[in-house]
Amino acid sequence: MTGTPDEQLTFFEEQGYLLAKGLLDPVQDLDPVMREYKGVLDNLAIELNQQRVIASTYDDLPFGERVTKIYRESGRAHAQYFDFSLPQGSVKKDTPFWAGPAVFHMLTSPRLLDAVETFIGPEIYSNPVQHVRIKPPEHLTPINPETGRIQLGITPWHQDNGVVLPDADETDMLTVWFPLTDATIEQGCLCVIPKSHREGLMHHCPANWGLEIPETVYERSNILPVPMQRGDVLFLHKHTCHSSLPNKSHEIRWSFDLRYNPIGQSTGRGAFPGFVARSQSRPEQVLRDPEVWYQLWRETRDSLAQSEDHPFNRWSKDHPACA
């Protein structure tokens, strides 16, 4: 971050975003996560090869080329296999997810939490609205046969407050987005609309590719692409309109998409488990064991697999704005 903390917060409050260049250490913070995910990809490749879905495990290829090859040959983007969250419905007892120790240590990185503290204070809760995004080049990505769209294409225009339930409308939710590999314009970096957060929560329309703010609700002007390097972190206000560009490169775009809020405030996704990441007033409540975090997600999966689907979406496609 540049400038004094007061200047940074003023910029964030005025513009709805803040780019902190070089906040994370690529070697100490990011490399352990990337090594852990290599093992996850090993497991996926072995499983698909044993099922004769792919002809080889392709373990001689670098991670990006390998995941792209496996997705393309299998005809499916196996995003859930890598994600440290669960689907918003139809959870089964064997639904895959990855909540490994390196991911946990990234979520609780002191460097990251120090920055988060400047926005929401020292009582920090890790909100379970969180994802890893591994987006191959679009020209090498499988097509969804039901929608005819690329399975891991652009992210539609939305606000992060819009993808949670109304109980979090008063939550001081902070989005933290950072790439594990460089996110250039060609690779499909994020785009923001500065000052859009001043408009408050807008109507989102459900579609096959996710929730989207239609142009009839908010005109997409003054769009600002935000290319980032490894170690950079982007902070977003919960009402900032943002999207992503298509990945037109020959490399993957790999990123973490996290949320934090003050302890005691609603996460907007109560069916999923969050945890206390930092607390000055009650340090004994801080979760420090990655195995416990994994078990929280496993128990949640087991519970959801035996129950009816929980609501995750407040919006109706029958709204006039969605016509």
Q: Which helix (H) or strand (E) holds 190?
A: strand 190-192
Q: Work out whether strand 275-278 and strand 253-262 pair parallel, antiparallel, or are unpaired.
A: unpaired
Helix axis angle, 31-50 to 63-74, nearest 10° = 30
Structure-block tokens of residue 112: 């990251």
How many Cα atoms are found within 13 Å in the side-chain-facing hemisphere of 170?
3
Answer yes or no: are the C-beta atoms of 160 and 234 closer than 8 Å. no
- Kindly tell me if the per-residue pLDDT of 209 is higher than 60: yes
- What's the predicted TM-score (pTM) here? 0.95
Of the pLDDT bands very low, low, confident and very high (cuts 50, 70, 90), residue 6 is: confident
- Find, among 198, 175, 215, 183, the residue nearest to 64 by Cα: 183
Looking at residue 153, its pLDDT comes to: 79
What are the structural domain ranges in the chain?
6-307
- What is the average per-residue pLDDT within 262-280? 97
Answer yes or no: are the C-beta atoms of 33 and 23 closer than 8 Å. no
Over the stretch 276-293, which tens digit does the pLDDT of each residue have? 999 999 999 999 999 999
Round to whole Å and give the CA distance between 9 and 45. 44
Round to whole Å and give the CA distance between 87 and 76. 16
Residue 283: how many other CB atoms lie within 10 Å: 10
Decide which of 207 and 211 is more confident.
Answer: 211
Of the pLDDT bands very low, low, confident and very high (cuts 50, 70, 90), residue 219 is: confident
Average pLDDT across the chain, whole number = 95
Looking at residue 311, its pLDDT comes to: 83
Q: Which helix (H) or strand (E) holds 275?
A: strand 275-278
Looking at residue 255, its pLDDT comes to: 98
Of the pLDDT bands very low, low, confident and very high (cuts 50, 70, 90), residue 142 is: confident
Q: For domain 6-307, give its CATH number from 3.40.1350.10, 2.60.120.620, 3.40.50.300, 2.40.50.100.
A: 2.60.120.620
Of the pLDDT bands very low, low, confident and very high (cuts 50, 70, 90), residue 148 is: confident
- Find, among 298, 243, 301, 238, the residue nearest to 267 by Cα: 238
- What is the average per-residue pLDDT within 109-120? 97
Looking at residue 2, its pLDDT comes to: 65
Of the pLDDT bands very low, low, confident and very high (cuts 50, 70, 90), residue 69 is: very high
Answer yes or no: are the C-beta atoms of 279 and 123 closer than 8 Å. yes
Over the stretch 225-263, which tens digit does the pLDDT of each residue have? 999 999 999 999 999 999 999 999 999 999 999 999 999
- What is the average per-residue pLDDT within 193-213? 92
- Kindly tell me if the per-residue pLDDT of 320 is higher than 80: yes
Round to whole Å and give the CA distance between 189 and 212. 18
3-state SS assignment for residue 133: strand
